[in-house]
Amino acid sequence: MKHIFTYKQTEYFDIKNMSVIGDFNNWDETVNIMKKNEEGIWWNEVELSSGEHLYKFIINDNIRMNDPIANLYALNKEGELMSLIIINENDERLYNNEQYTVHIEKYNMLNQILEEDLQINKKYFNINIDEKVVTKFEFTNVTGVHAITVLWYKPDNTLHSFSENILFTPDGEEDKPITMWFWIELNTEFLLMGMWSIKLFVDGEFILEDGFNIGNSPTYTSTKQKHNTQNNGFEEWC
């Protein structure tokens, strides 16, 4: 059957090029190159045989992202969480009607990995003192399995790096929050000084953006203050 893969671009995430990879094209990102229509939706039509097909989007040449509307995800042989589409013998797509949830309970930015629940959110990092820039996320009400992706952008708005972790609730720990850390090292390579930013995605869907400064003047931290943002109702701290 013919299936059209789509991905909706938002104003918070600049996409220059995009393709879809999977077992249907031997994971070749040059085969199914996606195009953007007037509504800002990237799309590509693929011929799919019956069976299960793992796939993922490649954005801006190297960012691997899941399909936010897939609602079915599975691990590949390397342990990476992939989007999954299932076609039955009648050339019909099978859908999963289960609704899964993720809630971001807390978010902090620190200069080290800490288990303690500190009521601060660091926004300035000194390359002569701080070893890391660490983002700490605490998730609750997690059902199903999810890919959590963080992109790090330099002051010139080019991508520095990205990483992905798999989020799920272990059996018997449904009432406990799940903590994840993402970080970059400050003292292992030359980094541009100025205003950096991070972008958080859940299953390929943009959730929030936050900024921080890297410099070499005395550091400071700020107390936690909430202000409203337009990022899916999530409250950032500054």
State the pTM of this model: 0.87
Q: How far apart are CA 72 and CA 186, in angstroms?
A: 37
Question: Same domain for 61 and 133?
Answer: no
Residue range 112-131: mean pLDDT, rounded: 87
Please give the residue range of the domain that contains residue 211.
Answer: 103-237
Tell me the percentage of the chain whose pLDDT exceeds 70: 91
Q: Are 133 and 108 in contact (CB under 8 A)?
A: no
pLDDT of the residue at 218: 65
CATH number of 201's domain: 2.60.40.1930
What pLDDT is recorded for position 225? Answer: 37
CA distance linking residue 226 with residue 146, whole number of Å: 27
Residue 24: what are its φ and ψ, rounded to 5°?
-75, -15
Q: Which of 56, 76, 94 is the last residue before a domain boundary?
A: 94
CA angle 208, 54, 74 (to 5 degrees): 65
Both 41 and 154 in one domain: the answer is: no
**Each residue's pLDDT tens digit, 144-172:** 999 999 999 999 999 999 999 999 999 99
C-beta atoms surrounding 149 within 10 Å: 23
For residues 41 and 81, membership in a common domain is answered with yes
Query: Are 108 and 144 found together in one domain?
Result: yes
Q: How many domains are there within the chain? A: 2
Closest among 140, 133, 132 to 106, alpha carbons compared: 140
Q: What is the pLDDT of residues 52-81, one digit of tens each?
A: 999 999 999 999 999 999 989 999 999 999
Query: Out of 10-24, 85-99, 217-231, which region has the weakest mean confidence (pLDDT)?
Result: 217-231
Counting residues of the chain whose pLDDT is more than 90, the rounded percentage is 81
